[in-house]
Structure 1
Amino acid sequence: MFLGTFTPKLDDKGRLIFPAKFRDQLAAGLVMTRGQEHCVTVYPMREFEKVHEQLRQAPVTSKDARDYLRVLLSGAEDVVPDKQGRVTIPSHLRTYAGLDRDCAVIGTGSRIEIWDTAAWEAYLEQTEEAFAQTATEIVPGLF
């Protein structure tokens, strides 16, 4: 499970070193793609295979489903981290997420998100109070 927030920096070649506690789960390979709110989403290969299988269930007659699949999969890259846990984030994903140097790598359970640090801080500032004030059931049966 991926938990926590880390602040690595991209090097001049667009490479990022994943936090040590994430590396074992990613060593066999991963998929990076566009995420919601303009971040890069990183899935361990096995988790992405599960997600893809769920996506295959979407009706091809649905324009929304086709659009979503096209954007998600056309931006996807499969990668194996090097021995230091380092990956190169493709330029199209760096552009999509506005990644330059300072990054926030956040664990979101079954996946990781890579954000521009300023964008992550702005997002968190905007949504943290709503989280604290949540009084309705967001996830059925959780609270």
Structure 2
Amino acid sequence: MNLLSGEYECKLDPKGRLVLPAKVKGSLPQASAGQLVLVRGFEPCLVLYPLEAWRVIHDKVMALDEFNEEYRQFQRNFFRGMTEVELDSIGRFMLPGSMRRYAGLEKEAIIVGLGNRCEIWDTARYDEYLIKDQQSFSKLAQKFLTNETGPGGSLAA
């Protein structure tokens, strides 16, 4: 399984297109064949999923009970603006204007690989959302990676 990882600084062209870095493109599953899904992130960024990873998320969200108002609100907002994108011959894809405005993307972006997905950030906004204090980061690592009741179980022996 290929994992999307790393940080990549990119530039948007005047038409709002972004070239996917070669390392990111090379890590996409073959089954995606350049088909990707772009959605608004929970933070002010965009999230890019390979098609097969998106299907897993899509199915989880669609499994929520449509007769529950809170679930409907979540589904409505989660799927709002979802766009399928395809890479052209040079690995470039269009970022729709409404999505660029949401994420504050104008000329530069940073793409961050997060395993099954990538986030696309305005470089200044991305820096605002990073943990600046290494001690706080270390405490989070300890909380999430050594607690047997935490997400994904324990990594400790």
Contact 1:27–1:85 (CA under 8 A) maintained in structure 2: no
Q: Which amino acid aligns with 1:76?
A: M
TM-score, normalisation: structure 2: 0.83
Equivalent in the alignment of 2:17: 15
Are 1:141 and 2:154 matched, yes or no? Answer: yes
Distance (whole Å) between structure 1 residues aligned to residue 99 and residue 42 of structure 2:
12
Match of 1:89 among 84, 92, 95: 95
1:32 alignment partner, SS class: strand
Greater relative contact order (Cα < 8 A, sep 6+)? 1
Match of 2:57 among 37, 43, 51: 51
Between Structure 1 and Structure 2, whose CA radius of gyration is higher? Answer: 2
Once superposed, which parts of structure 1, at least 4 consecutive aligned residues long, lie more than 3 Å away?
125-129
Contact 2:131–2:137 (CA under 8 A) maintained in structure 1: no
Are 1:5 and 2:7 matched, yes or no? Answer: yes
Q: Which amino acid aligns with 1:54?
A: K
Give the direction of change, closer, same or farther, for the CA distance of 1:65–1:47 in structure 2 (3 Å limit). Answer: same
* Number of aligned residue pairs: 143
TM-score, normalisation: structure 1: 0.90
More strand by share: 2
Match of 1:77 among 64, 80, 83: 83
Equivalent in the alignment of 1:123: 129
Q: Which amino acid aligns with 1:65?
A: Y
- How far the C-alpha of 1:87 sits from its partner, in A, is 0.5
Distance (whole Å) between structure 1 residues aligned to residue 87 and residue 135 of structure 2:
36
Aligned-pair identity in percent equals: 33
Distance (whole Å) between structure 2 residues aligned to residue 54 and residue 89 of structure 1:
25
Counterparts of 1:16-31 in structure 2, within 5 Å, are: 16-24=18-26, 25=28, 27-31=33-37
- Cα RMSD of the aligned pairs, angstroms, is 1.8
